[in-house]
Chains A and B, each alone.
Chain A
Amino acid sequence: MDRLRSIFEVFSGDTNADRVVPPSGFTSRLTSFTAGAMAFLTVFALALSLATGRLADRWDAELARTSTIRIAAPEGQLAAQSEAVLEVLRTTPGIASARVMSDAEQRKLLEPWFGPDLPLDTLPVPRLIEVLEEGKGPDMAGLKLRLSAEAPGAVLDDHTRWRRPLVNAATRLRLLGLVSILLIAGSMAAMITLAAQSALAANGQVIGVLRLIGARDVYIARAFVRRFTLRALIGAAIGTALAMIGVAFMPAPAEEGAFLTGLGFVGWHWFLPIIVPVIAAVVAFWATRLAAFRALSRLS
């Protein structure tokens, strides 16, 4: 309750507490500038995290759903092996359905490469079986073993082979973005602590006079806390606004899934950066408050 009140008091009424500390134009501008720069970086790290998060989720969902089995066998064995594969699939948990692609479908898949008049029956094209997964999907390694035993011509292409690293990278990138945000917040706390400490040290006489006439530590701390919190808030608000303008003017996504052009905010995520200045102010509040009380308790 007391804490809450002291947070509230930072923004309200007693401007006198502000006046007791002499103005310091230069450090004040430095503090605002740093808070602004940190907020700017935070917004970009946030945009990066959200975009890679979206990408990872989408890829993950897509590739988890389907895989393909290719059967290449001499003409006489193709039908038998297809049957065997379907039988294996029917008895494998994690598979919703499997079906042999029709000639028409296969022709359509090959058309871009070989033209529309492909004589499918005379060419040794492999037979394709499309597999739809369900739940967590089948145990891929076990499935491959069983397939090679039942149908030596079948090759399981589970897409994951090449997409898994991409999903991993995207997930890792999101994590890096979040870690960056934490680091930025930490550096801002450190920077504001240093600025507050130098302000406290520079105002030793002011603090001495205030103590002499009966000011409590809270009162003195408040004068500093108020100043640094407001500076951080204003600086971070400007930095956030600039970064959001930068993100808004990114080229629109050219195609689905394009990573670079997909960097931005979607829907309600546009509201997330608004908490950046608030967090900056909270960080400044606590950093200054701790620095002030530590400095004051060292004085006699």
Chain B
Amino acid sequence: MIELKNAGFNYGGRDILSDMTLRLSPGSFHFLTGPSGSGKTTLLNLCYQALMPTTGMVRIFEQDVRAMTRDDVARVRRRIGVVHQNCQFLDHISVRDNLTLPLAVSGRESEVDQGNVDDLLSWVGLSERGDALPPELSGGERQRAALARAIIMSPDLILADEPTGNVDWEMAQRLIALLVELNRMGKTILIATHDLNLIRNTKSEVSARVLRINNTKLQLAGADL
């Protein structure tokens, strides 16, 4: 699904990631942790071609990122749901319209079922906010809306960058439960988070691997997690 082979990334000569080898196989569930500024967001960006690796190789759905055209990138992204750390929306259309936008841009607007959109909104606790404009949402509400937008296309892979960073414990549990449910349906999940409690809690539900970025390198975290 996603494959990194000795991939590295640097900003202006400063290594952020180096020599990363990683394979996300279909249906797997991964957590990604590491101190702030260690490169979690950077690694996720490599996984959906928002950044090009400066060294090594990255393959997304069996395609080498260096050989992708811009249209290839667009096609690949339709199969990946991304929750950004600072999620962005189209600020002039409603939350509801933002959720269905991924279907619209891939020519599947006819598949929009407002009933499903309502279900999705209520799953992430935004039933009341569907008609609001994105700038009117709180930080936590934005994250939940971003998660809803990421999964509306039923993507094969979900990349979530601190999806629970701004919500209370109960809501965090609920969002993770949603992702666990999707994983049971066969989706591949990668979640970057600082929240070790959340990881421990989830590992009782689903067999998840925990990766840690330490000093630009990727390690498998110990059994204590």
Which residues of A approach B to under 8 Å, CB–CB? 14, 16, 19-20, 22-23, 205-206, 208-217, 219, 296-297, 300
Contact = CB atoms under 8 A, between A and B. Distances in A.
Interface string B69-103: 01101111110001010001111110001000110
Given A16-B109, A20-B101, A216 B93 contact: no
B149 interface: yes
Given A206-B90, A212-B77, A217 B102 contact: no
B104 interface: yes
A213 B71 contact: no
A213 B88 contact: no
B207 interface: no
B185 interface: no
B106 interface: yes
- Which of A20, A22, A208 has the largest count of B CB atoms less than 10 A from its CB? A20
Interface residues on B, range: 20 to 34
B105 interface: yes
A22 B77 contact: no
Contact of B106 (A14, A206, A214, A296): A214
A214 B74 contact: yes
| Closest A-B pairs by Cβ, 8 of them | A214-B78, A215-B105, A214-B77, A22-B92, A216-B74, A213-B102, A16-B104, A214-B74
A9 to B, nearest CB: 11
Contacts of B149: 213
A22 B92 CA distance: 6
B74 A211 contact: yes
B77 A209 contact: no
B75 to A, nearest CB: 7
Contacts of A214: 74-78, 102, 105-106, 153
Contacts of A213: 77-78, 101-102, 105, 149
Given A205-B88, A212-B77, A217 B105 contact: no
Contacts of A19: 93, 97
28 contacts: A14-B109, A16-B109, A19-B93, A20-B93, A20-B101, A20-B104, A205-B91, A209-B88, A209-B89, A209-B101, A210-B90, A211-B74, A212-B50, A212-B77, A213-B105, A213-B149, A214-B74, A214-B75, A214-B78, A214-B153, A215-B74, A215-B105, A216-B105, A217-B70, A217-B74, A296-B70, A300-B50, A300-B51
Interface in B148-171: 149, 153
Given A205-B88, A209-B89, A212-B84, 16 more contacts: A19-B93, A20-B104, A22-B90, A23-B92, A205-B91, A206-B90, A209-B90, A212-B88, A213-B101, A214-B78, A214-B102, A214-B106, A215-B105, A217-B70, A219-B105, A300-B50
A19 B92 CA distance: 9
B70 A216 contact: yes
A82 B22 CA distance: 110
A23 B90 CA distance: 12
Nearest to B100: A16
A15 to B, nearest CB: 10
Contacts of A14: 109
Nearest to B72: A216
Interface string B102-120: 1011100100000000000
B90 A20 contact: yes
Contacts of B106: 214-215
